[in-house]
């Protein structure tokens, strides 16, 4: 596979071996002291060591303190590592959590206050007043598409509530999307992150907001993920399937600037209350929520079924999603994944506060969320 270059709006170098171009790119920008921001697991794996071997000539430091759902304290620790290294740029290397932290480490390192104070809904939200350190991103999973997103989702340490820092200023200056970095992903991670990418594309297309550009991207992203997710899980060394899922992930993140829906509001609540992996939470809710949404957007469901090569229109699409999850090893209900009936009131409270459901094709009340969570138990 040859390397492809495009901007939408982030400059992206896509293809096997793209990771080897980072050193040259940073040196061309006059940069020499990168801080790699990654997660605990990746920091101990050969994949990071191999990537660092392509950075010879740079003074590299690693902050590997990201784990679970990213928190404000992880960002602030990363900012301290940036200052201690006297870094001049940030390399985000990892999945959605690591990239969300990496996006705002430079902000926290060069601006006053806690990173949560830069969340868009903070009562005394701070503005980004100075230039941010140069930032490039290398995704190692194919799910969140965080590498091309202009938002960073960070949880409060005390409450676990997710807060969003949103600004075009935190976009990566360049993305090096190398599917070879995903070849070592375990099947269950490939499945959960892949369902996240698929959910992004589907929900953004179903959103009633007007954005034909995003609609086109979402439909094609859905088609690509539908044809390749099972192969990526079952044939982990299949570079074409891995490439397809990395592309579908980026397309989903680009498309959801149009907005998302109630599946994501439910998933955000499940992450906050039950610490469920975001992709898994989406997978556990998607059939229930989409079945409930059917009546609100029948034509769009028909089109989604078509690109997924599923017969039976919207109901057929919902049934196919259930079958797809079985094929990639995602089984069970919320309760079988540790969610308790008594947690539903708190889940409902957080889901209602989440903004994603405001662009769900069907308006959602607290009572609706209660029924959706109960049905998914």
* Local structure of residue 208 (DSSP, 8 states): -
Of the candidates 40, 107, 42, which has an alpha carbon nearest to the alpha carbon of residue 19? 42
Q: Write down the pLDDT at residue 162.
A: 82
- DSSP label of 373: H
Residue 176 shares a structural domain with residue 200: no
Cβ neighbours around 41 below 10 Å, total = 17
**If residue 151 lies in a helix (H) or strand (E), which one and from where to where?**
strand 151-155
Q: 90 and 228 in one domain?
A: no
How high is the pLDDT of residue 374? 97
Instruction: Verify that 152 and 274 share a domain, yes or no.
Output: no
| CB contact at 8 A, 313 and 302 | yes
User: Which residues of the chain, if any, have pLDDT below 50?
Assistant: none
Burial grade of 128 (CB within 10 A; 0-12, 13-18, 19 or more): middle
Considering its fold, how many domains does the chain have in total?
Answer: 2
User: Taking a C-beta distance cutoff of 8 angstroms, is the pair 66, 35 a contact?
Assistant: no
Q: What DSSP character marks residue 149?
A: -
User: In angstroms, rounded to a whole number, what is the distance separating the alpha carbons of residues 181 and 30?
Assistant: 26
Per-residue pLDDT tens over the stretch 101-119: 999 999 999 999 999 999 9
Angle formed by the axes of helices 298-307 and 187-206, nearest 10°? 140
Confidence (pLDDT) at 7: 56
In the three-class reduction of DSSP (H, G, I as helix; E, B as strand; rest coil), residue 211 is classed as coil
Give backbone dihedrals phi and psi of 176, rounded to 5 degrees, phi first. -110, 95
Q: How is residue 250 written in tokens?
A: 């980026």
Residue with tokens 């000539």: 57
**Is the same domain home to 213 and 172?**
no
Distances (CA, A) of 313 to 25, 176, 305: 47, 37, 6
Same domain, 153 and 286: no
Q: Which of 139, 162, 182 is the last residue of a domain?
A: 182
Last residue of a domain, one of 127, 157, 182: 182
Do 310 and 276 sit in the same domain of this protein? yes
Please check whether residues 133 and 111 belong to one and the same domain: yes
3-class SS string, 223-254: HHHHHHHHHHHHCCCCHHHHHHHHHHHHHHHH
Same domain, 228 and 141: no
Tell me how far apart the alpha carbons of residues 143 and 249 are, in angstroms, rounded to a whole number: 5
- What DSSP character marks residue 140? S
Domain boundary among the residues 182, 215, 246 is at: 182
Cis peptide leading into residue 9 (ω within 30°): yes
pTM: 0.91
156 and 291 fall within a common domain: no
Domain boundaries, position 159: 4-182
């Amino acid at each position: 596979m040859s390397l492809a270059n495009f901007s939408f709006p982030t400059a992206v170098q896509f293809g096997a071996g793209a990771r080897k171009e980072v050193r040259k790119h940073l040196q061309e920008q006059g940069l020499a002291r990168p801080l790699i921001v990654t997660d605990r697991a990746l920091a101990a794996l050969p994949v990071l060591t191999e990537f660092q071997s392509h950075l010879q000539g740079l003074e590299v430091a690693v902050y590997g303190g990201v784990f679970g759902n990213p928190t404000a304290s992880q960002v602030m620790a990363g900012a301290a590592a940036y200052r201690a290294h006297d870094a001049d740029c940030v390399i985000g290397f990892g999945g959605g959590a690591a990239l969300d932290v990496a996006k705002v480490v430079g902000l926290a390192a060069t601006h006053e206050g806690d990173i949560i104070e830069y969340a868009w809904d903070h009562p005394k939200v701070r503005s980004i007043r100075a230039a941010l350190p140069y930032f490039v991103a290398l995704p190692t999973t194919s799910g969140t598409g965080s590498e091309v997103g202009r938002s960073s989702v960070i949880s409060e340490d005390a409450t676990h509530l997710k807060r969003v820092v949103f600004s075009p200023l935190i976009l990566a200056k360049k993305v090096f999307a190398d599917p070879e970095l995903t070849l070592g992903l375990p099947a269950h991670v490939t499945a959960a992150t892949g369902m996240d990418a698929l959910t992004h594309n589907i929900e953004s297309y179903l959103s009633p907001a007007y954005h034909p550009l995003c609609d086109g991207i979402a439909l094609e992203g859905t088609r690509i993920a539908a044809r390749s997710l099972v192969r990526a899980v079952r044939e982990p060394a299949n570079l074409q399937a891995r490439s397809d899922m990395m592309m579908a992930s980026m397309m989903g993140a680009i498309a959801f600037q149009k907005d998302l829906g109630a599946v994501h509001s439910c998933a955000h609540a499940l992450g906050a209350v039950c610490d469920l992996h975001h992709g898994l939470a989406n997978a556990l809710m998607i059939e229930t929520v989409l079945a409930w949404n059917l009546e609100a957007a029948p034509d769009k469901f028909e089109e989604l079924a078509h690109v997924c090569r599923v017969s039976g229109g919207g109901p057929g699409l919902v049934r196919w999603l259930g079958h797809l999850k079985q094929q990639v090893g995602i089984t069970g209900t919320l309760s079988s994944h540790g969610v308790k009936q008594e947690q539903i009131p708190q889940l409902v409270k957080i889901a209602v506060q989440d903004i994603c459901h405001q662009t769900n094709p069907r308006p959602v009340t607290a009572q609706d969320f209660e029924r959706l969570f109960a049905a998914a138990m």
